[in-house]
Structure 1
Amino acid sequence: MPKASNLRHQPFIRPDPHLEDLAINHISSYHPLPKALEDKVRACLFDAKVKKNEYLLKQGEISEYLYFIIQGLVVGYTMLKNKKLTTYICLEGESVSAIKGMYGEGPSGESIYAVEDSHLIGLPIRNLLEWLETSFEMNIIIRKIVESFYKSAHQRSNLVRMGTAQEKYEFYLSTTNHNIQRIPPRYIADLLDIKPETLYKILKKVKEPNEATLQAYFQVIENYMVGQQAFKQHGLTLPKMSGDLNIPAHQLSHILNFHYRKSFSAFVNSYRVDYVRNKLQNIKDWQHLTIEAVGSEGGFSSRSAFFAEFKLNTGMTPAEYARSGQN
């Protein structure tokens, strides 16, 4: 019989309220939570701190928790015919659980472990299953979470089918939403199903644009984000920005990661937060709007994403920031 891991985090310790907010904001980014359901979710959240190389779940165990990553780097892999296949890499702001056996209906198809000391918020699967029976909203949320897991798995299957290691790396660069400088290259190599030394050779061969070309790229990007205020586009994607600027997606991703030192989403959201901050500093600019409407005007697609990103960047909620500017 598959082994359960229900003692791994016991006794449960409730997270600090601001960390609960991060988990709730993540869940709500898929679909708004009714207040009654939000209260139930908060009551079931628990704090989970794991050390480097510590396992959250081992292949063959029963998956009992869904995790939200507050800080850290987590990798999922499966063993197949004595070969380790990395299936996903997750960073701060993402959720992680088993893909196969997520609902605890059977043994997990993968192992999940921390690549570095990590801080997570856990939510028992048994509670999710209860809410699935009674909550329409939770059905939507879980469906979207599962879709995101399978989308990641599908992307990985596309990666390994590509021809050369160079093509795999360029495709990864053009599709990932991660700041790849946060990820040790050997884990990227595992995900791409190439040897680490091969990836190191690719990284050494990556041609940096000359200084004049690089400065031209910076100017084009700055004009796009500031002059055209492209950050206001809801759902702006790397491929869309790449097409608008006529810069190959993998090259644009490389520039953002290695020169701006940000993932695509962090890069775009920094402009959105700056826009909202400037707006909130002058009440005359937004007194006819709600704070949520200001966030939407700035490009945020949902209230929860707006609030979470704003607090991450400023340490305050939008309302707190607005009040501080009026004192």
Structure 2
Amino acid sequence: MIDLLLGTIASTIAIDQSDKDLISRLFREKKYGKGEYFLAEGEVCRQVGFIISGVVQYYINHDGEEKTYGFGKEMDFVCNNESFIPQKPSRQAIQALEDCTLFVISYNDLQLFYAEIRNGERFGRLVIEQVFVQTLRGLNSFYTDSPEIRYEKFIKEYPELVQRIPQYYIASYVGVKPQSLSRIRKRNTQRD
């Protein structure tokens, strides 16, 4: 399974066998059961994960209601950079929606990755840039797109998740109640 992680890294930066050996030592496999937290609200995010199997949701608790703002699936990196980079408590949570297997690396080991892997810092920068652009895209969509358009974008971005996760998480992500999502889905079906 480490080959998936190594392949993802190698698709971005050149790594040799000694790099692969170090990466294999720095990342460790960790399993999360459905409902368990990769990061709970109020905790400091002390690791970055790479999803081998499973799905996680990113959410924030707003007045006692979970507001889902993103998902992570196979081959995605998982982290709350707002907490991880400054090592400050998180206002968000990252929770497993399915049983998950990840390769995780601690904050300190990631610093070693950056220092020891040729172009390691470049890899980190490129991953953070992808997360940043995705976050901005989601924020812009939330303020400018209708729930129907947000649902259509969800289907395009996460087609494999439509049947894998409960509809109320999708409704939260789209910014509507589950009943409204049912109406949106029905209208989409009638158009097709």
Fold conserved between structures, TM > 0.5: yes
Corresponding residue of 2:10: 28
- Which of 190, 204, 214 is residue 186 of structure 2 equivalent to? 204
Q: Which protein shows a greater Rg?
A: 1
For the structure 1 residues 181 and 43, does the alpha-carbon distance in structure 2 shift closer, same or farther, using more than 3 Å as the test?
A: same
Match among 26, 33, 58 for residue 44 of structure 1: 26
Q: Secondary structure at the match of 1:85?
A: strand
Distance in structure 1 (CA, Å) of the matches to 2:92 and 2:123: 23
Equivalent in the alignment of 1:261: none
Structure 1: give runs of 5+ residues left out of the alignment: 1-18, 210-250, 252-327
Equivalences, count: 191
Unaligned runs of 5+ in 2: none
2:154 to 169, 172, 177: 172
> Cα deviations across residues 17-56 of structure 1 (Å, max 9, x unaligned)?
xx11112112223322233222111012212111110111
Deviation readout 1:135-189 (Å, 9 max, x if unpaired):
4511111111111222222222122113532222223334x15423333222111
More RCO (CA 8 Å, sep 6+)? 2
Label 1:173 to 1:44 Cα distance change in 2 as closer, same or farther (>3 A).
same
- Structure 1 residue 98 and structure 2 residue 80: aligned? yes
3-state SS of 2:102 partner: strand
Distance 2:91 2:49 in 1: 17
Larger helix fraction of residues: 1
Q: Give me the whole-angstrom Cα distance separating, in 1, the residues matched to 2:146 and 2:61.
A: 23
| Residue 194 (structure 1) aligned with residue 176 (structure 2) | yes
Write the distance in 1 (CA, Å) between the matches of 2:175 and 2:16. Answer: 42
Deviations 1:252-299 (A, max 9, x none): xxxxxxxxxxxxxxxxxxxxxxxxxxxxxxxxxxxxxxxxxxxxxxxx
SS in 1 for 2:114: helix
After TM superposition, which residue ranges in structure 1, 4 or more long, deviate above 6 angstroms? none
TM-score (norm 2): 0.87
- TM-score with structure 1 setting the length: 0.53
